[in-house]
Amino acid sequence: MPELRHLRALQVFDAVASHSSLTRAADTLGVSHGAVSKQMALLEEYLGVLLLHRHVRGVALTDAGETLHRATQQGFGALELGVRGVRREPNRKSVTISLSSSLATKWLVPRLPAFRARHPGVAMFLDTNDTFIDFEDSEIDVALRFGVPGWAGLYHELVADEALIVVASPTLVSAKDLPMTPSEIVRLPLLHDRFNPAWVEWADLMGVDRSRLGSQDLIFADTAVLIAAAIDGQGVALARRLLVEDDLAAGRVVRLDKSVVATERSLYFVCRQGDQDRATIRSFRNWFHDAKHRTNDSAGLYPR
């Protein structure tokens, strides 16, 4: 096989062709505009053809440039996939987990010392991001998602059904008044989740007129912040049972009644097909299930 020369110049060309701009390619590669121009001149001289038409607004590919760009896209794309594959080798001693900041803060992070004690050689990286994960274009190993199964081609398994329960700080309500009636609860300030109008569902479930829910003066976009407001005594939260378990066990909040509002969304463990049996991911997966099952079922209790 003939020697393939000027790989750096080919990388620069691929960036220029992808962005249709020498300047944007330089920014992407972290080099100067002059360095990009020099690499392009070197490559065109080596190939003996013109690859780009320069104009005021950027560059356009010549026919030869179009042909070469198709090749560099395939070649560098294959290299990226190969690098990701090697980084996911079965003996790699790390796992990168994508999860919401609320799940990380309220559940996973307090339990990490237990995982590290059981698996001291495994490095764990947390990516607190609740957006869609394209596993083919990401270094994420595992996604923990509250949702409805819709991950075609990916391995996923149910971890816990999601349910909402009514909680508040013991500084807001007296233990002798528990459990409370729906009428008593709606007289208290209610904390609202911007993305989950669950108080309406709770009112329908408990036979309460929706008009008695009052104004939505306290609205939160982050469940962990909503729970923090409840702990601070600012109002009553209709909170995810999994995320409030530790606060119930520690007495930072109490349940006000026995109501449970079921939701369509549940917590799922998601990864690439086959990765569930990779050593580090299997270690995390088994520990995660054990930790979930060992969690005190405080959500089923309230003072009497």
Q: Does residue 73 surpass a pLDDT of 90?
A: no
Q: Is residue 2 part of a domain?
A: no
Q: Which residues contact 260 (CB under 8 A, 6 or more apart)?
A: 163, 164, 165, 241
Provide the CB-side half-sphere exposure for 300 (13 A, CA). Answer: 3
Do residue 181 and residue 257 come from a single domain?
A: yes
Do residue 177 and residue 257 come from a single domain?
A: yes
Q: Is residue 304 part of a domain?
A: no
Do residue 243 and residue 273 come from a single domain?
A: no
What is residue 293's three-state secondary structure?
A: helix
Do residue 52 and residue 109 come from a single domain?
A: no
Q: What are the tokens at 285?
A: 């997966």
Domain region containing 59: 7-87
Please compute the mean of the pLDDT values over residues 108-120 and round it to a whole number.
Answer: 91
Q: Is the sign of the CA dihedral 170, 211, 223, 284 positive or negative?
A: positive
What is the predicted pLDDT for the residue at 103? 93
Split into its structural domains, the chain has a count of 3
Q: Is the sign of the CA dihedral 185, 186, 188, 192 positive or negative?
A: positive
CATH number at residue 167: 3.40.190.10
Task: Write out pLDDT tens, residues 183-207.
Answer: 999 999 999 988 777 899 999 999 9
C-alpha to C-alpha distance for 102 and 107, rounded to whole angstroms: 8
Residue appearing with tokens 């080798």: 89
Do residue 56 and residue 181 come from a single domain?
A: no
Q: Is residue 303 part of a domain?
A: no
Confidence of residue 214 (pLDDT cuts 50, 70, 90): confident
Do residue 273 and residue 258 come from a single domain?
A: no
As a 3-state breakdown, the chain gives helix, strand, coil percent values, each rounded to 5, of 45, 20, 30
Q: Which residues contact 208 (CB under 8 A, 6 or more apart)?
A: 182, 183, 186, 202
C-alpha to C-alpha distance for 37 and 60, rounded to whole angstroms: 14
What is the predicted pLDDT for the residue at 247? 96
Task: Write out pLDDT tens, residues 230-262.
Answer: 999 999 999 999 999 999 999 999 999 999 999
Do residue 281 and residue 151 come from a single domain?
A: yes
Strands 154-168 and 254-255: antiparallel
Q: Is residue 231 part of a domain?
A: yes
CATH number at residue 22: 1.10.10.10
Global confidence as pTM: 0.67
C-alpha to C-alpha distance for 277 and 118, rounded to whole angstroms: 18
Q: Is residue 1 part of a domain?
A: no
